[in-house]
Amino acid sequence: MELRAMVTNLPAEARAKWVKYLEARTTEEKIRALEEFLSSVPKHKGTENLVAWVRRKLSELRDELEESKRKRGGGPSFFIEKHGVAQVVLLGYTLSGKSSIFNALTNAKSKVTGMPFTTMYPVPGMMLFEDVQIQLVDSPPFVPEATSGKVSWGAKLIGLARNADALVIVLDSSADPVGQYRALLKDLESAGIVLRKPRGRVQIERSKAYSGIRLARMGKILDGTEDDVRKLLESYRVYNALVKIYGEVSIDDVEKALFEAVVYKPSVVLLNKVDLVSYDEVEKHVRELSTLTPHVQIIPVSAITKQGVDLVPGSVFNVLELIRVYTKEPNSREPSKDPLVIPKGSTVEDAIKHIREDFLKHFKYARIWGPSAKYPGEKVGLDHVLSDGDIIEIRTHIRGI
């Protein structure tokens, strides 16, 4: 059943209520609007998926509300504010070694006791990859779907994972890692999170900070134009958003993305505790694990001996599909120390929008040094696609800049 048909075939009243939900600002407003939407949706076989999605979203929102109240009261919370270039969540069963890995990779500390269920709330820390800070979040143990309703954090953990920019899956190589991974994939999928890369995907970031509908194309739309995307979003009264297109997608996929029904999360798998098993076993596990999610990198590590741990930050940065661009003033020899971190596929124009939007009106040309330049100091226009490690110098008609 296509979500598109699910929503567009609803009675006008329900669609109007859906729009109310999209417009809701606070968590309380969203809950109220979604409850009203749900009561206006006719319940039958054809709306089953939609109803299931609404119910899940409602329970997420209610958790969020409860969390923010708790936080205001000074207690621990499941909601972790994002810092650095991305938020990456560690996910795995109890005792797989998440907290040990977290401690080895960040400047923060999370408790390790050897007792199951030691970590009960997420713990944030910063992980350094070369010159970028990536936020890593240690989390309470993942629990099988069958029992997740019975533990207090099941739904919240899924919410944390859904909200992350990427996941680091931690498996215990001494306790049937392939079985663990298979079960984890299945449970994540039924919660609407997939780790297998789809042929294409759409990510919509709605924010007032974007003026209008902007497209970042790392791929292509098979059956429509940029204008079709704009019209579609506007029909849902979405006027300010960044739409990221990866791979090959259809207009239908764009509409589905609006509902966040299924999200793809880039991930890295850590096969932990390799100090406890033989080399042959590690090799066998890696082989079997890679058949489950062929494109996902599997890194054999040990939080105790630190083997393989230094490979993790680079691998995580890689799956985030970000690039670092260093700006340089026209009269200076040295580029900025702190990179501008933007999505892969970004152009000179995208970079300028992040630096100083008003430069666009006065843009003359840019000079590029680094991987995307044909020769050092190549002169390029706004549509030049940048690469990780590029140095960019922007020339404008403004005197002296």
Ligand X SMILES: Nc1nc2c(ncn2[C@@H]2O[C@H](COP(=O)(O)OP(=O)(O)O)[C@@H](O)[C@H]2O)c(=O)[nH]1
Beta-carbon neighbour count of residue 144 at 10 Å? 12
**Minimum distance of Mg ion from residue 269's CB (angstroms):** 18
Decide which of Mg ion, ligand X, none touches 97; Cβ closer than 5 to 8 Å per partner kind: ligand X
Contact pick of 84, 97, 122, 313 for ligand X (by CB under 6 A): 97
Q: Which class for 104: exposed (0-12), middle (13-18), buried (19 or more C-beta within 10 A)?
A: middle
Q: Is 166 in the site for ligand X (CB under 6 A)?
A: no
Q: 169 with 98: CB under 8 angstroms?
A: no
DSSP-assigned letters across all residues of 79-101: -----BS-EEEEE--TTSSHHHH
Report which residue type is found at 298. I
If the CB atoms of residues 97 and 370 are measured against ligand X, the closer one turns out to be 97
Q: Does 118 bind ligand X (CB under 6 A)?
A: yes
Q: Per CB under 6 A, does 212 bind ligand X? A: no
Cβ distance to ligand X smaller for residue 94 or 290 = 94
Establish if 94 lies at the interface with ligand X (CB under 6 A): yes
Give the whole-angstrom CA distance, residue 181 versus residue 193: 14
**Binding partner selected for residue 105 from Mg ion, ligand X, none, CB under the kind-specific 5 to 8 Å limit:** none
Residue 106 binds ligand X, judged by CB under 6 A: no
DSSP 14-36: HHHHHHHHHH--SHHHHHHHHHH
Q: Is 272 in the site for ligand X (CB under 6 A)?
A: yes
Question: Cβ-count burial of 219 within 10 angstroms (0-12 exposed, 13-18 middle, 19+ buried)?
Answer: middle
Whole-number Cα distances in Å, 226 to 201, 214, 287, 342: 15, 9, 41, 21
Which residue ranges make up the site for Mg ion (CB under 5 A)? 98-99, 118-119
User: What is the per-residue binding string for ligand X in 119-158, x denoting contact by CB under 6 A?
Assistant: x---------------------x-----------------
Figure out which of the listed residues 47, 77, 99, 346 binds ligand X, where binding follows CB under 6 A.
99
Among positions 84, 92, 300, 339, the unique one binding ligand X when judged by CB under 6 A: 92
5 contacts: CB under 8 Å, gap ≥ 6 = none
Interacting residues with ligand X (CB under 6 A): 92, 94-100, 112, 114, 118-119, 141, 272-273, 275-276, 302-304
